[in-house]
């Protein structure tokens, strides 16, 4: 799992222009916090297969970097809800 998150650090640095003086350990901590939050909200999703999960996690790190996690929750709550509902539909369709 850590390898997936380490790859995301490079993407996040490029996408959001995070300066090199901000250490990878800080970004990794934000990634782990965000992943734990998203896993709680929608368990069983994969970073490799679920691009919404990946996008939400990358944006979580960006907001956490700016100390605005509450704003992330407010700005993405509708998307998170539709993501959760879409996952439930897939789960029930597969059953």
How far is it, in rounded angstroms, from Cα 3 to Cα 88?
Answer: 28
Parent domain of 84: 24-94
Domain count, the chain: 1
Q: Which residues of 7-42 are buried (b: 16+ CB within 10 A; e: fewer)?
A: ebbeebbeeeebeeeeeeeebbebbeebbebbeebb
In a domain, 3, yes or no: no
Residue 72 lies in a domain: yes
Model-level pTM greater than 0.85?
yes
d(CA 43, CA 74): 20
User: What is the chain's pLDDT, residue by residue, as a tens digit (95 residues)?
Assistant: 578 888 899 999 999 999 999 999 999 999 999 999 999 999 989 888 899 999 999 999 999 999 999 999 999 999 999 999 998 876 656 65
What the block records as the tokens of 33 is 């916090």
């Amino acid at each position: 799992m850590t390898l997936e998150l380490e790859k995301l650090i490079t993407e996040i640095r490029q996408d959001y222009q995070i300066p090199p003086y901000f250490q990878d350990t800080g970004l990794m901590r934000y990634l782990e916090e965000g992943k734990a939050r998203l896993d709680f909200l929608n368990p069983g999703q994969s970073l490799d297969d679920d691009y919404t999960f990946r996008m939400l996690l990358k944006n979580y790190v960006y907001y956490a970097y700016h100390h605005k996690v509450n704003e992330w929750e407010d700005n993405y709550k509708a998307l998170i809800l539709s993501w959760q509902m879409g996952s439930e539909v897939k789960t029930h369709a597969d059953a």
